[in-house]
């Protein structure tokens, strides 16, 4: 897993402004608020069709643009003296395959070569890491450094422990350990970060559709429910992008599909609004555990996270 030194109070950026490249979800909003609390001006660029327009209220300067106009984003950040940026929020990769999706991928001059390789010449595969790393490299070639969002909002990384205090059954423990190894292998192949397991049989593996639809498919295949969802970081995870994230929406998907347990990777998973997640999980009797290596110990089985 690629590690980037964490920012501390003694290593705060010597910068007035930090740029925020925002995708879908509440995560960009939380990062923007954290940046503001730390005294930075927040310069936001929302990806059209992904970012919530309400994010503009959290930023000092904000614009929205298509994913193909990276040059526009670079110019906007530099115009407002944001030479350090961070990515936050999901990119719905499935949209690449929708009709007329190419309209959002018409590149500007700065991103022409990158998008040509992906969309026309097909020299590059469209795995998440390949695509997102190309974005990072493009920004950095133009003098804009990309830092992990978790450096600015480390409190969003979930801590190790049993978050709901619910006792795990023996079957759930076995499914977590079984699913963990599989999820790590799938992550290593850059296919997805989530697997859904029942009685040590794989019901669904996340691919381009994302976590929620993966869980939905598992529910359709396992009408009796009672399955376990395992979501982990990739072995080669670059913390600047695509860090696994869960929230109440994830648990709503599990509840609707009939699942009973969610296992995530401690220290490498973002939990959006953790108190709300824990409250919902306890109310719906969904066990949530955060582990380091997929092995359930007595501590994980009995204690709440600190």
CATH code, domain carrying 33 = 3.40.50.20
Let me know whether 223 and 95 are in one domain. Answer: no
Q: CATH number of the domain at 241, please.
A: 3.40.140.80
DSSP assignment of 46-108 equals EETTTS-GGGGGG-SEEEEE-TT-HHHHHHHHHHTT--EEEEESB--GGGGGSTTGGGGG---
- Tokens for 305, please give them: 């996270």
Let me know whether 134 and 75 are in one domain. Answer: yes
Let me know whether 24 and 149 are in one domain. Answer: yes
Cβ-count burial of 122 within 10 angstroms (0-12 exposed, 13-18 middle, 19+ buried)? exposed
Let me know whether 77 and 201 are in one domain. Answer: no
In the chain (306 residues long), the average pLDDT of successive 10-residue segments reads 42 85 94 96 94 95 90 94 94 64 66 64 67 85 93 94 94 96 93 96 94 96 97 91 93 98 96 96 97 76 43
Let me know whether 241 and 272 are in one domain. Answer: yes
The reply to whether 3 falls in a domain is no
d(CA 201, CA 243): 26
d(CA 294, CA 172): 12
Residue 205: its pLDDT value, please? 97
Let me know whether 36 and 94 are in one domain. Answer: yes
Let me know whether 175 and 260 are in one domain. Answer: yes
The reply to whether 1 falls in a domain is no
Residue 4: its pLDDT value, please? 41
Residues 103, 108, 113, 115: what is their CA dihedral angle, to the nearest 10 degrees?
-20
- Rg of the chain (C-alpha set): 20
Residue 18: which of 91, 104, 65, 77 has the closest Cα?
77
Let me know whether 129 and 203 are in one domain. Answer: no
Number of domains in the chain: 2
d(CA 211, CA 228): 13
The reply to whether 231 falls in a domain is yes
Let me know whether 162 and 234 are in one domain. Answer: yes
The reply to whether 2 falls in a domain is no
Let me know whether 175 and 234 are in one domain. Answer: yes
Specify the pairing of strand 228-231 against strand 194-198. antiparallel
Q: Which of 128, 154, 180 is the last residue of a domain?
A: 154
The reply to whether 54 falls in a domain is yes
Residue 92: its pLDDT value, please? 72
The reply to whether 275 falls in a domain is yes
Residue 9: its pLDDT value, please? 40
User: Whole-prediction pTM value?
Assistant: 0.83
d(CA 91, CA 94): 9
Q: Give ∠ CA 69-72-105 in degrees, rounded to 5.
A: 5
Residue 15: its pLDDT value, please? 85
Residue 236: its pLDDT value, please? 85
Block residue for tokens 């992990």: 148
Q: What is the residue range of 83's domain? A: 9-154
Query: What ranges in the chain are assigned the alpha helix state H?
Result: 27-37, 70-79, 112-115, 128-141, 149-152, 170-188, 211-221, 248-257, 274-283, 298-302
Q: From residue 296, give the alpha-carbon distance in Å to each of 35, 268, 285, 299, 305.
A: 35, 17, 19, 8, 14
Q: Which of 104, 121, 154 is the last residue of a domain?
A: 154
Residue 10: its pLDDT value, please? 45
Assess contact for 158 and 267: CB atoms under 8 A: yes
Phi/psi of residue 179, each to 5°? -70, -30
First-to-final CA distance of the chain = 25
Q: Which of 119, 154, 189 is the last residue of a domain?
A: 154
Let me know whether 161 and 243 are in one domain. Answer: yes
- Tokens for 208, please give them: 């381009």
Residue 67: its pLDDT value, please? 82
d(CA 129, CA 42): 26
Let me know whether 186 and 93 are in one domain. Answer: no
């Amino acid at each position: 897993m690629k590690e980037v030194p964490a920012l501390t109070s003694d290593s705060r950026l010597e910068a007035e402004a930090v740029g925020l490249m925002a995708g879908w979800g509440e995560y960009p909003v939380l990062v923007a608020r954290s940046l503001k609390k730390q005294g930075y001006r927040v310069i936001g660029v929302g990806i059209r069709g992904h970012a919530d327009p309400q994010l503009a209220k959290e930023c000092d300067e904000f614009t929205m643009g298509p994913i193909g106009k990276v040059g526009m984003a670079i110019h906007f950040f530099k115009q407002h003296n944001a030479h350090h940026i961070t990515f936050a929020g999901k990119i719905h990769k499935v949209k690449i395959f929708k009709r007329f999706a190419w309209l959002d991928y018409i590149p500007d001059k700065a991103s022409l070569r990158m998008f040509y390789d992906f969309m026309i010449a097909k020299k590059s595969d469209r795995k998440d890491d390949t695509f997102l790393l190309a974005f990072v490299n493009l920004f950095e070639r133009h003098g804009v450094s990309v830092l992990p969002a978790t450096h600015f909002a480390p409190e969003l990384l979930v801590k190790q422990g049993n978050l709901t205090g619910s006792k795990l059954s023996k079957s759930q423990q076995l499914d977590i350990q079984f699913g963990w190894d599989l999820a790590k292998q799938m992550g290593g192949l850059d296919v997805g970060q989530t697997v859904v397991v029942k009685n040590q049989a794989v019901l669904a593996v996340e691919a381009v559709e994302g976590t929620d639809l993966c869980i939905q498919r598992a529910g359709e295949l396992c009408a009796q429910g009672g399955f376990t969802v395992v979501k982990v970081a990739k072995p080669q995870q670059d913390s600047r992008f695509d860090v696994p994230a869960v929230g109440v929406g994830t648990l709503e998907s599990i509840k609707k599909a009939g699942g009973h347990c969610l296992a995530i990777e401690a220290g490498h998973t973002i939990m959006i609004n953790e108190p709300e997640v824990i409250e919902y999980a306890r109310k719906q009797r969904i066990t949530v555990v955060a582990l380091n290596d997929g092995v359930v110990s007595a501590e994980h089985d009995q204690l709440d996270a600190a």
